Amino acid sequence: MIKVLLTTSFPPYRGGISHYLYETFKNYPFKNELVVITQTPEFIQPEEDLSIFKDVVRSKYLPLKGKFYRLDFYFKILKFFILNFKRIDYIYTESLIPTTIFSYLYKIFSPSTRLITFAYGTDINIIDPYIKRKTRFVCILKKFLLNRVDRIITISSYTEKILKSITKTDVRIISPIYSKERFKDKKHIKKDKIKIITVAQLTPRKGHLYVLKALSLLKEKIDFVYYMVGSGWFKDVIEKKIENYGLKDRVFIKTNLKNFEVVNLYKESDIFILTPYYYRGDFEGFGIVYLEAGAYKLPIIATGSGGSRDILIDGFNSVLVKEKDYIELSEEIYNLSTDHIKREILSENGFKISFYKKGDYKELIF
């Protein structure tokens, strides 16, 4: 029999969900039976070992390039289903629309196939007033699908609670894990120039603008350099704010970096900041990047938004501030920048938390 994972995000695409799925299925006992069909284009070479899977079928096109950029991805899914009719025993989907729709239709004609969906973000936020007002039919469709899959896999107690309020389907948690090299020997010594880093998509809800506003208050108080690692449609807005705040010589946006380049920036940095907030129905499902920052012994400043409180403990491995409160954020950046002992304590505890794990691949087989 064949297992198949349908996902828009998989290596070499860098991102929390891509890393999460790869690490989860890397330890899957039937990975040599698993076919991955992904939107990630075939002309970009991954750093990860994808030969451990039976096959990885990738798209011809980059995401968001062209009006019909996803048609090739959908066609590959439908073709695979037709050629392997009644030969698939497990289908894993990373999104409700459209991959779970395709999979549900397949299951109608192949009832013995187990359908498992990963749900951890806006896909599950179907009761929010803003979302309902804008896309009522889509919310109804999502709820319909959530009630017809065999199992739902989510990533945090926060998302688990939401799912259990909207569906009676069996919900299990497999939390993310960061299992790459850990920077064990890092020490937070007293420094004149503080290096700060954020690794996240450039979107409004990640809170980049509030970090910039906080840093603009510190220009005369501390010597710092700030790296924003990521890409996204919000980049132009961020660049304008950097210029408006007079931070062009201190703030640098880094896009399209290879994994080893991101690792090098982590190793050079002294503080990790990511201050997301609830934005039009979108929220932080877990915050995999906090585990990554902890693995490189970085003290964390965050908001504790969404599911991130599973791993962020205020005063233990992180400093939590109120969402959108740039004044409090500015004060905490200053405090951590000038207190290398506190940075050392938070980073040591963050390193321990980076081993956090709840649930495993066993939830994928039943």
Do 160 and 207 share a domain, yes or no? no
Do residues 11 and 110 share a domain? Answer: yes
Answer yes or no: is 271 within a domain. yes
For the stretch 150-198, pLDDT in tens is 999 999 999 999 999 999 999 999 998 776 666 677 778 788 899 999 9
Would you call the peptide bond into 63 cis, given omega within 30 degrees of 0 as the criterion? Answer: no
Kindly report the CATH number assigned to the domain that includes residue 299: 3.40.50.2000
Residue 139 lies in a domain: yes
Identify whether residues 70 and 200 lie together within a single domain: no
**What mean pLDDT value characterizes the chain?**
89
Q: Answer whether residue 278 is part of any domain.
A: yes
In this model, does residue 66 exceed pLDDT 90? no
Q: How far apart are CA 8 and CA 125, in angstroms?
A: 19
* Domain range enclosing 69: 2-177+357-364
At 98 the pLDDT is 87
Q: What does the alpha-carbon distance between residue 207 and residue 76 come to, in Å, rounded to a whole number?
A: 36
Residue 105 shares a structural domain with residue 170 = yes
pLDDT above 70: residue 210: yes
- Number of domains composing the chain: 2
Q: 293, 128 in Cβ contact below 8 A?
A: no
* 107 falls within a domain: yes
The pLDDT, as a whole number, for residue 356 is: 80
87 and 172 belong to one structural domain: yes
pLDDT at 120: 85
Residue 188 in domain:
no
Model pTM score: 0.87
Residue 43 confidence class, pLDDT cut points 50, 70, 90: low
pLDDT digits (tens, 9 = 90+) for 231-243: 999 999 999 999 9
What is the predicted pLDDT for the residue at 157?
Answer: 93
Same-domain pairing of 137 and 279: no
146 or 126, greater pLDDT: 146
Contacts of 366 (CB under 8 A, 6+ apart): 114, 150, 151
Under the banding of pLDDT at 50, 70 and 90, the label for residue 337 is very high
166 and 197 within one domain: no
Alpha-carbon gap, residue 213 to 201, rounded angstroms = 18
